[in-house]
Amino acid sequence: MAEQKSNWFREHSLFIVLFALFVVFLVGMAITGFEVYNEEQVEHGASPIGFLQYLTTGAFGEATFENWESEFLQMGAYVVLTIWLVQKGSSESKPIDEPMEQDKDPRTVDVGPRTPWPVRRGGFVLVLYENSLAILFFVLFFLSFALHAVTGAAAYSEEQAQHGLPGVTPWEYLGTAQFWFESMQNWQSEFLAVAAIVLGSVYLRQRGSPESKPVHAPNDETGA
């Protein structure tokens, strides 16, 4: 029994560690953001608020969702763009002019009991399933985008009120330069990071990582 438990953690260790790091940094962001928020409250002559109340503020929501939005946009765009676009020599690219197993039409393969149910079912279910990864990321992007607009409008309106100015609705907030500045300052960094690994993996290596080509592979060898 102990051996099975150890194997399960090993088999899922990448997700477990990544999710644990997400929780650690989210908690760290909440704690430090809470301190910054109360410092600003005192500077404006307002009373500090409790930690749980801070988690319901537009300031915390906006800081959270503007970052989630950019991450999901990056991953969704990367999943879709790598269907058609290539980078010679990159481990992040499909091989140039060579068919891959991922390109195969699932309607032409032999199905078995371990074949995913949507493939065996076919029809519209299969159409959704064969595009489900991109759909997931873009649904999460638009959800985060909407939550960014709602919480950002609340934070923006609170700041406006401190200066005796009227607040805005989420729809009105979408038309402000502030909203698009918050979004694009994250979007540009996400696509820069992806571009860096796409090009960097042409010439650089990391032994043991599936994101890298084998150390001995030629620079112009394309694909994993």
For the question of whether the overall pTM of this predicted structure is more than 0.75, the answer is: yes
Residue 37's SS3 state is helix
Strand residue runs (E) in the chain: none
Cα-based angle 63, 68, 69 (whole degrees, multiple of 5): 100
Rg, Å, the chain Cα set: 23
Residue 97: pLDDT band (50, 70, 90) is confident
| Cα 139 → chain centroid | 11
Task: Report which of residues 77 and 44 the model is more confident about.
Answer: 77
Residue 1: pLDDT band (50, 70, 90) is very low
The rounded distance, in Å, linking the Cα atoms of 172 and 109 is 50
Q: What is the mean pLDDT of residues 58-64?
A: 96
Task: Report which of residues 70 and 44 the model is more confident about.
Answer: 70
The rounded distance, in Å, linking the Cα atoms of 45 and 39 is 10
pLDDT at res. 163? 84
| Phi, psi (deg, nearest 5) at residue 52 | -65, -35
Q: Residue 112: pLDDT above 50?
A: yes
